[in-house]
């Protein structure tokens, strides 16, 4: 419609009679009603307002419908009352008729009742159909509901557009586009109103609903507009009330899912709809004026000025620039300000709170192309995250192109947030839970390289913490079964629950790092070789090299700390060589220490062999385990080429060579090497025997192609056919180095194991009536013993001659969490020890606690219990703590104390108590048990082949400071209280403190580095577990998970073969075959001699702390030096860490003794704990020279 300006100088009557073609519109005088009139629209020539017609249409519709509903209900009620009286008479007649017709035949149904039933059925069907159409339970219903809401918003937008026009104006329906659209919308609303009316159960309440009222005051006026050719804005602003349903629409579309989001949208929709509706009413009355004032007191306000007016009114600001002039407007404002103020004061703060409480870290991770990411969840704190990032992002690793995504349900504090910001290029944090699939989708767990779950090591309930982590594993595996998971577990027995998860597969990289198993395993290995726990902990932790110029013990210790464990595939130049040969070549020429390899059998199963001996040949593609200071150094083992690098003396120059190596099969390479030696053609050569060819076929199936030169093949084949002494020292021959293959015998790819074919002594040990080992042959085993049979009283313990034993001081009570003492005992009962070599274990602690642990300990021999407390000196003297090989101090009460400084109070007090004890020299005549070992093949009674370390008479310890102790700590900072004579700063890191460097303290926090080490190389965890647990395998874990105890088994060649594995020991240089190297010799010479002579692999030194001083010192403390260089100078008091082979002959001389002791272990409580004193005759048979050397060097030696 064209709204033209009014001409104030002419009257409305003259303008209507004018025949001019002009389209100007003439306005009446001020006393007439103001209404725009155009020539094209036949309107009321008198300019009379018709607003009452629009309003009457709505009122008649509303009240008329309400009257009809009420009338219908009244008539229905009266009909029901009347029918109720007649119904009783009809019912009595039916009963009487039924009594007369007792023949059992069916009676005819009343035709009226059939009609009523049919009518009710038809109405019900229509009602159900209408209900389905308007409900959001079906797709049609959802589409219809969303469409109605969208059209309502469209109608509201049309109102906003028309609000700029006068309240009432003449319009032509056929020319006004907005009126046509509004008409179409309202026709749809009318149809939808009909569906809602049909589906409504209570028509009266439906008629009074807000949506129904909106329809009454918006739909009929549109039809009146078409009839009268004029428009009235009227109550069309009520369409804003449809905004209240906005949250329901979003829920139908699955956009709103959380309670906070639904509540926020509800508050916003109610607030905005009320605000816009009230603004529409003020706009109507202020622009129209009061009817009783003949609409003369109106004021021109736009709709948006009314919106502004309502906001300043609700907020009680009221600037006064815009205000209501009409009586209706002011009256409305009086009532609105009451409700509006209350709504503003309650809704706005709640809306702000909901918006402010929205998760700051609630987004989704966007994967970067070409970059992997891992998800870290579980116990996310400043300490755990900082320790993890410090090791994961260490500079010694190769380029770590991995993004770390942390997922936790609690937002980080300011310190943790600052840590994330410092590593923002590689770290992202998202707030959520791994138990929620939606949150797993946000962090893209399906495309993650791995998921790492951290545990709270300091929680009061370890079982509950493990249960939480197991549930996290279940949730992640349920969402994506193929994801690799590395999780920390606190208790060993809880690892069994992971095996119940169907998609858990350790062969695919899933790993569970059990902190209790590894912690106690490290401590147990320290009982066999003191200081080993420190060395191993430093090996899998990434430490930066700290250079010290001064000649102090810290200088040599820190040089060893910079070494880590790495893996690398061996060069083809090593194929066919024995393990000791390759190990010596790597150490001397490549400056690398190789301690183990991954061996693949013919059926492609792989296992890690630690120092396997000279009967194992290196295969193509063998993975080696190295100790080195940098990952780049380990590359030398992969790049080494005999043809190119044989004459290179600087290992830094060993890089990828340029010689071209043709691809050929292993059999063809070996055949060419054979023909190269004999000078024949491949067709005429007969050197490759059938048995060799069969073995080559097996290896060729495993590794079909390899890259190697022919010259290297010739060297490899010669070493493969007949193992020769190392080319590095050709004048030295192997002695007692294991089985030697004759030139005529076929080379074996599998390991030559003497135990596979039992000798006479092994056959004698295979007693079908005695079970000495568990069913896997990995551990010593005995029949279950009652705890009463191993309990010693204080007097019995004092009368018992205990020496060379292990004293375990344990703090705990009936309510303490179990720490899993089985993990401490199992490494000390490994089957690669002979029975007489087992150290007796004496537990000193609460009997109530030990009874709870005994179920997992009753199958191990040589275990005794002294009920008491580690703080009692009488109990400690009763177990001869001054003659023990190691005293272990543990506590099960550490995590029950909130103050971190007091968590280790019991262990610290016990340690200081032992160190302050004094002992007399009356028991100095007793012999301590073996601390070292005699190399295999040496006669213990021969004066020339004197023992390495332990057969020397141990001097009596007169002060507790010299007792070997290892103390478990929870809080790293408490290490400063263990040694009162050190000068460690309280802020010093644990690995830099003297107690840790000396191997007298161990904290579980050092195991945090295993998470990142396992992610980068899962073989590292397998190697560490193999070293410290004494031989625990996944098969053994499955067995323990089934029965929670070791099962005894009869000795068979297969189980006895499992005994043939290396173990950690300490080699003394003061006496024995290596004494000549102890005084100023080179560590490299010792390494080569021990490796070639006894197949012993040396990897570190345990040195006196003040050995570098020129003046003698009374200090008996030692520290650890890891992987010294070749030219490192030795001193006589050094103890050498080494991996020694299983000695098959060590048990022969004491076979009868060990057998009798083993069989009578469970028969007597006293016999299980008594060590026989060596006879006087045996002591007299020892050479006097050894006694004199003992007296001479007693002040310099420190015994473990």
Between CA 523 and CA 532 the distance in angstroms is 8
Between CA 1010 and CA 541 the distance in angstroms is 7
Between CA 840 and CA 850 the distance in angstroms is 17
Helices 303-314 and 327-356, interaxial angle, to 10°? 70
Which positions ≥6 away from 348 have C-beta within 8 Å? 271
Alpha-helix residue ranges (DSSP H) falling in 413-552? 414-422, 437-442, 462-479, 495-498, 515-528, 532-539
Between CA 444 and CA 363 the distance in angstroms is 12
Between CA 620 and CA 574 the distance in angstroms is 8
User: b or e along 777-793 (b: 16 or more beta carbons within 10 Å of the residue's beta carbon)?
Assistant: bbbbbbeebebebbbbe
* Phi, psi torsion values for 313, nearest 5 degrees: -75, -45
Instruction: Report which DSSP code applies to 1099.
Output: E
Q: What is the structure's pLDDT at 95?
A: 53
User: b or e along 659-686 (b: 16 or more beta carbons within 10 Å of the residue's beta carbon)?
Assistant: eeeeebbbbebbbbbbbbeeeeeeeebe
Closest CA relative to residue 999, chosen from 535, 658, 330, 601: 535
Q: What is the structure's pLDDT at 913?
A: 93
Q: What is the structure's pLDDT at 253?
A: 80
Instruction: Report which DSSP code applies to 481.
Output: T
Q: What is the structure's pLDDT at 648?
A: 72
* Phi, psi torsion values for 10, nearest 5 degrees: -120, 160
Question: What count of residues does the chain have?
Answer: 1200
Gyration radius from the chain CA atoms: 46
Q: What is the structure's pLDDT at 88?
A: 54
Torsion region of 279: left, alpha or beta (phi above 0 gives left; psi -120 to 50 gives alpha):
alpha
Between CA 580 and CA 238 the distance in angstroms is 92
What is the mean pLDDT, run by run of 10 residues, along the chain of 1200 residues?
A: 34 35 37 41 57 83 88 86 65 52 47 51 73 76 85 89 81 78 88 86 86 87 82 84 87 81 89 90 88 82 89 82 86 86 86 80 86 94 91 79 93 91 91 93 93 91 93 95 94 88 88 92 93 91 77 87 90 90 92 90 79 87 90 87 74 72 48 47 49 45 38 37 36 32 31 36 49 87 92 89 92 89 93 92 95 92 94 93 94 74 88 90 45 39 37 60 92 84 73 90 90 88 86 76 78 85 89 85 93 92 84 80 92 92 66 36 35 35 39 38
Q: What is the structure's pLDDT at 237?
A: 87
Q: Give the β-pairing of 450-454 and 427-431.
A: unpaired
Q: What is the structure's pLDDT at 1149?
A: 44
Output the six-digit token pair for 1156: 């009798």
């Amino acid at each position: 419609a064209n709204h033209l300006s009014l001409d104030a100088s002419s009257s409305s009557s003259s303008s209507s009679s004018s025949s001019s073609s002009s389209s100007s519109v003439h306005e009446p005088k001020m006393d007439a009603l103001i209404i725009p009139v155009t020539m094209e629209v036949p309107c009321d020539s008198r300019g009379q307002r018709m607003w009452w017609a629009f309003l009457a249409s709505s009122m008649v519709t509303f009240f008329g419908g309400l009257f009809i509903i009420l009338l219908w209900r009244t008539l229905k009620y009266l009909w029901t009352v009347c029918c109720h009286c007649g119904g009783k008479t009809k019912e009595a007649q039916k009963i009487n008729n039924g009594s007369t017709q007792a023949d059992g035949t069916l009676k005819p149904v009343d035709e009226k009742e059939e009609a009523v039933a049919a009518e009710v059925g038809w109405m019900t069907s229509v009602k159900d159909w209408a209900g389905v159409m308007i409900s959001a339970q079906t797709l049609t219903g959802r589409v219809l509901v969303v469409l109605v809401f969208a059209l309502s918003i469209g109608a509201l937008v049309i109102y906003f557009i028309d609000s700029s026009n006068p309240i009432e104006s003449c319009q032509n329906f056929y020319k006004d586009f907005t009126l046509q659209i509004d008409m179409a919308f309202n026709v749809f609303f009318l149809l939808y109103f009909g569906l809602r009316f049909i589906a409504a159960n209570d028509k009266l309440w439906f008629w009074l609903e807000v949506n129904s009222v909106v329809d009454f005051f918006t739909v009929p006026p549109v039809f009146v507009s078409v009839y009268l050719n004029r428009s009235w804005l009227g109550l069309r602003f009520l369409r804003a009330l449809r905004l209240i349903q906005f949250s329901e629409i979003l829920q139908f579309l699955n956009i709103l899912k959380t309670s906070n989001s639904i509540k926020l949208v509800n508050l916003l929709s109610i607030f905005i709809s009320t605000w816009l509706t009230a603004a529409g009413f003020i706009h109507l009355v202020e622009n129209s004026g009061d009817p009783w004032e003949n609409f003369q007191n109106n004021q021109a306000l736009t709709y948006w000025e009314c919106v502004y007016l309502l906001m300043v009114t609700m907020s009680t600001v009221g600037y006064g620039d815009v205000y209501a002039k009409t009586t209706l407007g002011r009256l409305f404002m009086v009532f609105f300000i009451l409700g509006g103020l209350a709504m503003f004061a309650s809704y706005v703060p709640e809306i702000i709170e909901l918006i402010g409480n929205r998760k700051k870290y609630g987004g989704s991770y966007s994967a970067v192309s070409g970059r992997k990411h891992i998800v870290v969840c579980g116990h996310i704190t400043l300490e755990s995250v900082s320790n993890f990032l410090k090791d994961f992002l260490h500079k010694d690793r190769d380029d770590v192109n991995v993004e770390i995504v942390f997922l936790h349900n609690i937002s980080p504090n300011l310190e943790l947030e600052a840590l994330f910001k410092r590593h923002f290029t590689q770290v992202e944090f998202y707030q959520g839970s791994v138990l929620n699939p939606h949150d797993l989708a946000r962090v893209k767990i399906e495309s993650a390289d791995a998921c790492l779950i951290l545990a709270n090591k300091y929680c009061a309930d370890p079982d509950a913490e493990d249960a939480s982590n197991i549930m996290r594993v279940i949730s992640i595996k349920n969402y994506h079964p193929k994801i690799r998971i590395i999780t920390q577990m606190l208790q060993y027995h809880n690892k069994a629950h992971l095996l119940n998860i169907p998609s858990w597969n350790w062969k695919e990289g899933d790993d569970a790092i059990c902190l209790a198993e590894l912690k106690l395993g490290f401590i147990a290995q320290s009982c066999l070789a003191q200081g080993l726990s420190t060395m191993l902990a430093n090996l899998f932790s990434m430490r930066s090299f700290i250079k010290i110029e001064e000649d102090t013990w810290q200088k040599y210790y820190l040089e060893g700390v910079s070494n880590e464990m790495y893996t690398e595939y061996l060069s083809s130049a090593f194929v066919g060589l024995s393990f000791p040969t390759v190990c010596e070549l790597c150490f001397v020429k490549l400056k690398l220490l190789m301690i183990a390899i991954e061996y693949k059998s013919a059926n492609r199963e792989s296992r890690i062999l630690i120092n396997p001996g000279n009967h194992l040949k290196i295969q193509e593609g063998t993975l080696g385990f190295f100790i080195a200071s940098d990952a780049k150094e380990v590359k030398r083992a992969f790049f080494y080429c005999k043809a190119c690098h044989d004459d290179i003396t600087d290992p830094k120059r060993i890089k990828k060579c340029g010689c071209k190596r043709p691809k050929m099969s292993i059999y063809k390479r070996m055949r060419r090497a054979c023909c190269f030696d004999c000078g024949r053609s491949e067709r005429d050569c007969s050197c490759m025997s059938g048995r060799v060819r069969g073995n080559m076929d097996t290896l060729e199936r495993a590794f079909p192609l390899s890259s190697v030169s022919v010259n290297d093949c010739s060297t490899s084949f010669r070493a493969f056919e007949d193992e020769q002494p190392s080319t590095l020292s050709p004048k030295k021959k192997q002695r007692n180095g294991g089985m030697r293959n004759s030139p005529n015998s076929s080379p074996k790819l599998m390991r030559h194991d003497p135990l596979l074919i039992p000798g006479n002594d092994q056959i004698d040990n295979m007693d079908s009536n005695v079970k000495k080992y568990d069913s896997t042959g990995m551990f010593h085993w005995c029949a279950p013993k009652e705890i009463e049979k191993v309990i010693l009283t204080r007097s019995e313990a004092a009368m018992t001659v205990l020496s060379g034993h292990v004293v375990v001081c344990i703090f705990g009570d009936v309510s303490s969490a179990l720490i899993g003492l089985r993990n401490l005992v199992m490494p000390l009962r490994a089957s690669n020890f002979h029975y007489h070599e087992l150290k007796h274990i004496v537990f000193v602690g609460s009997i109530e606690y030990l009874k709870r642990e005994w179920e997992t300990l009753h199958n191990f021999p040589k275990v005794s219990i002294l009920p008491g407390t580690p703080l009692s000196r009488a109990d400690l003297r009763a177990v001869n703590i001054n003659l023990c090989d190691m005293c272990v101090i543990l506590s099960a009460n550490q995590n029950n104390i909130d103050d971190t400084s007091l968590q280790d109070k019991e262990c610290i007090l016990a340690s200081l108590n032992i160190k302050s004890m004094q002992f007399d020299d009356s028991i100095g005549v007793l012999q301590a048990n073996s601390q070292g070992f005699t190399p295999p093949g040496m006669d213990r009674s021969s004066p020339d082949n004197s023992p390495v370390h332990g057969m020397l008479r141990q001097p009596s310890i007169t002060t507790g400071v010299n007792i070997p102790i290892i103390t478990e700590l929870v809080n790293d900072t408490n290490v400063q209280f263990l040694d009162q004579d050190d000068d460690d700063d309280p802020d010093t890191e644990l690995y830099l403190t003297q107690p840790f460097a000396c191997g007298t303290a161990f904290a579980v926090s050092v195991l945090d580095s295993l998470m990142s080490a396992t992610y980068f190389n899962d073989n590292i965890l397998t190697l560490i577990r193999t070293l410290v647990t004494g031989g625990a395998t996944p098969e053994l874990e499955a067995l323990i998970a089934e029965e929670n105890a070791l099962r005894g088994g009869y000795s068979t060649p297969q189980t006895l073969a499992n005994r043939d594995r290396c173990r950690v020991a300490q080699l003394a240089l003061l006496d024995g075959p290596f004494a000549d190297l102890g005084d100023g010799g080179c560590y490299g010479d010792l390494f080569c001699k021990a490796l070639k002579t006894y197949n012993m692999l040396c990897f570190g030194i345990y040195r006196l702390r003040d050995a570098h001083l020129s003046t003698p010192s009374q200090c008996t403390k030692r520290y650890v030096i890891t992987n010294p260089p070749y030219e490192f100078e030795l001193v006589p008091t050094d103890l050498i860490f080494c991996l020694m082979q299983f000695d098959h002959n060590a048990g022969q001389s004491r076979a009868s003794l060990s057998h009798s002791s083993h069989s009578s272990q469970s028969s007597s409580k006293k016999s299980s704990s008594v060590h026989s004193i060596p006879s006087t005759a045996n002591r007299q048979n020892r050479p006097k020279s050894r006694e004199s050397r003992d007296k001479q060097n007693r002040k310099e030696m420190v015994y473990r």
